[in-house]
Amino acid sequence: MAAKPVVIVTRKLPDIIETRMMELFDTTLNLTDEAMSAEQLREAAASTDVLVPTVTDRIDASVIEAGGARLKMIASFGTGVDHIDFQAAKKQGIIVTNTPDVLTEDTADMTMALILAVPRRLTEGELRLRAGEWKGWSPTSMLGHRIWGKRLGIIGMGRIGQAVARRARGFGLSVHYHNRNRVHEEIENELGATYWSSLDQMIAHMDIISINCPHTPATYHLLNKRRLQLMKPHAYVVNTSRGEVIDEDALIAALEREEVAGAGLDVYESEPAVNPKLLKLKSAVLLPHMGSATIEGRIAMGEKVIVNIRTFADGHNPKDRVIDMMF
């Protein structure tokens, strides 16, 4: 690869990151911040050494094939890589990197915020106040449920899941988890976490379910209709991972029938479109995919992208190279 690789960035990044990329690489920026069409992504792939997409860009086989022999690297701005056809990239010999670790604390903060917001009906209360419907304090007004002493079941005990567990302990929650592989005993002891080899059994015993696993073929609709029916009627589900991990239609039906008490969602199955039925549910706290949206986090993501590109351009293996997409 040339000393100054050609780089195309698909969305607007923080100014400090864009400036540094212009200094280091032969960079084309997206100053309008409008999402590229499929055709524009194919044109970009065909004319660059390194493509820097975000999690909202669908880098499918057609985009990767359009890169031909020119495209050498996809340096994704984000932790998740489910928007990239990883097998197609692997077949073409294209290196794929992401930006792990830097979003852990921010996403865990937002997960904990939703764990608090849903049982305590925070957004419902704020909306009532703003609408002028609040008539003052009452012993029976806006009653929710405490989380202290409740059981939290974490699906996916990676970095974010562990960070959620640390926060949860401070709020008096009993921490339980299901993961593809059991974490080390020292981590379990530190977090006071109980491992469940059976996801079904864990779900059936929890008061709150937090989804913190990545979206892969193995986790698509992991929380499906059958598993939602295992949940207790007073239980809540929180998702700050990817919308596709939950069967959204099944969740909506369960909420409408009050078979599940509530949901806190930062991600959606067809985002940016949000199912209109979700918008009507008072039992759902809905956020616009802002779990990692901190200034510090976005800059740190950009810095990782730069390091990954420079490392690869220098002929070395990037630290954040994606090896597989298994859960």
CA distance 12 to 32: 7
* Tokens encoding 261: 């008490």
* Catalytic residue flag (residue 145): no
Question: Which entry of 18, 65, 271, 303 is annotated as an active-site residue?
Answer: 271
* Tokens encoding 175: 């921490």
Question: Which entry of 58, 145, 289, 321 is annotated as an active-site residue?
Answer: 289
Cβ-count burial 111-129 (b if 16+ within 10 Å, e if not): bbbbbbbbbbbbbbeeeee
CA distance 143 to 132: 18
CA distance 89 to 323: 11
DSSP secondary structure letters along 255-307: HHTTSS-EEEES--TTTTS--HHHHT-TTEEE--S-TT--HHHHHHHHHHHHH
Q: Edge-to-edge strand order for the sheet containing 95-97?
A: 26-28, 6-9, 50-52, 73-75, 95-97
How many CA atoms does the CB half-sphere of 80 hold within 13 Å?
A: 26
* Catalytic residue flag (residue 178): no
Sorted by sequence, the CB contacts under 8 Å of residue 172 that are 6+ apart come out as 147, 148, 149
The CA R_g of the chain, rounded to the nearest whole Å, is 21
* Catalytic residue flag (residue 271): yes
Question: Which entry of 11, 83, 242, 298 is annotated as an active-site residue?
Answer: 242
* Tokens encoding 84: 């990239």
CA torsion angle for 31, 34, 39, 45 (degrees, to 10)?
40
> Judging by beta carbons within 10 Å of its beta carbon (0-12, 13-18, 19+), is residue 296 exposed, middle or buried?
exposed
- CA distances to 12, 51, 61 from 98, rounded to whole Å, are 17, 12, 18
> Catalytic residues, which ones?
242, 271, 289
